[in-house]
Amino acid sequence: MQAVLVGLGNFGLGWYKRLRSHPGVQTVCVVESNVQLRETIDPETPFYLTLEEAIISERPDFVINVTPPHVHTTINEIAFSHGLPVLCEKPISNDITDAQYIVGQAELKNIPFMISENYRFFAPVLKAKELLDSGVIGHLSSVHIEFDRYHVVTVPYFGRLANGLLEDVTIHHFDMIRYFTGQEAVKVFAMNSNPPGSWTDTTTIHLSAWMELDGGTVVDYHGNMMAKGKLTEWYGDWRFEGAEGAIAVTSNRVQLMKEGKADEVYTFDGVGNVLSIDEFLAALKEKREPRPSGRDYLKSQSLVHAAAVSSRTGKMLSVEEALREV
């Protein structure tokens, strides 16, 4: 299959290398408005300034959208107008109304639309999901998540976000809450902040959140991008408490606990080798909805929106209530 990669900034070059070496991708062409970035790729790779031009000349089978978030909708619309499936970096859009619109367009035109949520494919995450789905700890009572990193973001768009941590990083963790539990939030309360010692004065990089899920499970989340103490992995430390046991995910280690004692321990050298592109290509081949689809990921983004509204208003609310405040 032939791919067109749109965007070489930030994650774009990594995507280029990944696509070039992937057995399911025969050829790659690139779209990038910054001509200087052409020097970062193989000179024989077809290079275009616009997606329209690339589609007309190369006739690709699908589009990989790695542009800045505020450009996502424009690129996705062009791809959909040509009937091309899209694998788009998160978020769907920084604007929830925009996100709803583009997901609606994909569904209306019956075009495969997937969001590259790579955290779902990390080996420890897949193992924890397997254990949870087996029912080994019984009915899930509560989930606790700790995310602690010291990470200065120099990319301009991050500083322009109202809540940088929530919108750019915590969205991964909120999606994982839905993925792990198979439940949706019915109540959300959150507080975004920028405490003393922060490395930025333009956005928030600290978050405390609580939510109740529709299966009765309660979740509490702590996120911090200015941590000076022990750091977590990017996907965070997780503790799942069930009626018959617990599961802890910490530093590429998954531990099953029964009666307060370690029952089984699974360790991993890293996050694994399964990629979102593997899922995307498999879904196209099998003619099924990719995971996560834009339709599914919109629910994760709506949860982020609800947390932002809760923090702004100081109220506990439902996702539906928050979506009325766009």
pLDDT grade for 318, boundaries at 50, 70 and 90: very high
At 90-122, the pLDDT tens digits run: 999 999 999 999 999 999 999 999 999 999 999
HEC-encoded secondary structure of 59-89: CCCEEEECCCHHHHHHHHHHHHHCCCCEEEE
From the list 22, 17, 18, 31, the residue with the least C-alpha distance to 60 is 31
pLDDT, mean of residues 5-32: 95
Mean pLDDT of all residues in the chain?
96
Q: Which stretch of DSSP H or E encloses residue 265?
A: strand 261-267
pLDDT above 90 for 54: yes
Report whether pLDDT(326) > 80: no
pLDDT of residue 261: 85
Q: Does the pLDDT of residue 184 top 90, yes or no?
A: yes
- Pairing mode, if any, of strands 2-6 and 27-31? parallel
Lowest mean pLDDT among 45-54, 124-133, 136-145, 271-280: 271-280
Q: How is residue 167 written in tokens?
A: 């919108």
Is the Cβ–Cβ distance between 101 and 149 less than 8 Å?
A: no
Best CA proximity match to 86, nearest among 275, 301, 283, 304: 283
Phi, psi of 191 (to 5 degrees): -140, 110
Confidence band, pLDDT 50/70/90 cuts, at residue 53:
very high
Asked whether residue 273 carries a pLDDT value surpassing 80, the answer given is no
Q: pLDDT grade, residue 49 (50/70/90)?
A: very high
**Is residue 280's pLDDT more than 90?**
yes
Confidence of residue 270 (pLDDT cuts 50, 70, 90): confident
Domains of the chain: 2-111 (3.40.50.720), 119-274+302-323 (3.30.360.10)
Q: Give the model's pLDDT for residue 5.
A: 98
pTM of the model: 0.95
pLDDT band at 269 (very low <50, low <70, confident <90, very high): confident
pLDDT tier at 271, thresholds 50, 70, 90: confident
Distance (Å, whole) CA 46 – CA 107: 31
Lowest-confidence segment of 60-69, 130-139, 263-272 by average pLDDT: 263-272
What does residue 127 show for φ and ψ, rounded to 5 degrees? -70, -45
When pLDDT is averaged across residues 235-264 and rounded to a whole number, the result is 94
**Average pLDDT value for residue range 140-165:** 96
pLDDT of res. 274: 79
Least confident of 19-28, 211-220, 273-282, 313-322: 273-282
Q: Is the pLDDT of residue 76 over 80?
A: yes
